[in-house]
Each structure stands twice: as structure tokens, then as C-alpha cells.
Chains A and B, each alone.
Chain A
Amino acid sequence: GAVVSQHPSRVICKSGTSVKIECRSLDFQATTMFWYRQFPKQSLMLMATSNEGSKATYEQGVEKDKFLINHASLTLSTLTVTSAHPEDSSFYICSASGPAEAFFGQGTRLTVV
């Protein structure tokens, strides 16, 4: 299957700072990528759809000004958690996909202290 690389795998940041997470599609061009969040012992919830060259589409309840998404090329989408707070601590995972199935990155565990 296709390879999606996500970086960093773990990050600890201070409350009030911003953190950028990168998601790269290594072997195919992805005009659309997706960002998910998983709180401890819960399922993965779709946060937003990242569209190459246009604005991201956010799911209901997700603050677009807090979770900035940039999809500047066909192989790279970034998620920036701005002014992070402890409640933003979570596991974030991206996917790139074709019409039939999705390929997931390794995930990023964010801890805000």
C-alpha cells in the first residue's frame, strides 16, 4: 500500500505555544488529506478535510482558528495547533487516500504541559 509519513511522532509543548504536525504522502499525489484526533480510550474522530490549494473543511465543533491546516502541495499537509492548552493533548493522525481506501500516518502524540 501507499506510504504516508507523519512527523513528529511525539511532541511535548508548553501551554500557549504552537505546534506544527506534518503529513507527507510519499508515493502518490493526494489532492485531499484528512486529519483525525483520538482522545485516550476513544475512537478516531475526523477533524478536518485538507484540500490542496484551497481552504480546509472542518467538522462541526472543530475550531478552524485553533487548528490551522495548510495543504500547499500534492504531497504535504500540515496541521498547526495554535495556542495549545492541556485539553488539546491527544493523538493526531492523518490520512491520504485514493477513491477506495485510505493510508494513515503513524500518528503524533501531543502533550501540552
Chain B
Amino acid sequence: AQSVTQLDSQVPVFEEAPVELRCNYSSSVSVYLFWYVQYPNQGLQLLLKYLSGSTLVKGINGFEAEFNKSQTSFHLRKPSVHISDTAEYFCAVSVLYSSASKIIFGSGTRLSIRP
């Protein structure tokens, strides 16, 4: 069965510093992987997705992630964070269910930016 592990529940970072949010997945078949962001008291916003092709995926707000099949990882990175990046970040994997994608979420990583 597919699953996602986010090892870091919280990541504090100083403004303008780089950040990496870690995500490992478990799957016996080909996977689709996603990163979502959730700002306080709001819904989900898709940051980026890996469906196929290039293993380096660029998303919105300057974020990127790299799909590493041998390490079963999909870590999220940003070279320089801003206060506005303070949010909860969820890594997720897609499970195909009757031609629809069922999304399984990781436990989330809270990114807090310090001025």
C-alpha cells in the first residue's frame, strides 16, 4: 500500500535562508507525488506535482522538489524563504481508485519563518 512519511513535524528557519522539507514515500507501483500548502485557517493549495518526466519539478512561489526513485524521496526545497511562506506543508501520494486519484497525505510539516 502507498504511504507517505514526513519526518519533520516542525521546521524553523530564518527569513531568506534556504529550506528543505523532507518526504519519503512507500509504493510498490509507479507513483504520482504532490506537495500542498495550507495557510492558517485556509484550504489546500497545490504547490507542485510529479506525474512523469523530469525528476526536478518546479512549482509556485519559488518552490521545487526532486523525485528520487532510488531513495523513494520527494523533498521540497526553496533557496530563500519569506515570512509569507509560514504555513503547513503536506506531501502526498496518489492512489488510483476506479480511474480517480485518491490522495494519501503525510502528517505535515509546519514551516515557521523567523525574521
**B102 near A46: Cβ-Cβ < 8 Å:** yes
Q: Pick the interface stretch among A13-21, A60-68, A80-88, A98-106.
A: A98-106
Instruction: List the interface of chain A (C-beta within 8 A of B).
Output: 1, 30-34, 36, 42-46, 49, 51, 93, 95-102, 104-107, 109
Q: Does B67 contact A (CB under 8 A)?
A: no
Number of B positions contacting A (CB below 8 A)? 24
State how many angstroms separate the Cβ of A42 from the closest Cβ of chain B. Answer: 8
- Across the A-B interface, how many residue pairs have beta carbons closer than 8 Å? 70
Dominant secondary structure at the B interface: strand
Q: Which residues of B contact A34 (CB under 8 A)?
A: 100, 102-103
Closest B residue to A95 by beta carbon equals B103
A56 to B111, CA, bound (A): 35
- When the two chains form their complex, are residues A32 and B98 in contact, meaning their CB atoms are under 8 A apart? yes
Per-residue CB contact flags for chain B residues 74-115 toward chain A (1 = under 8 Å, else 0) read: 000000000000000010001011111111111110000000
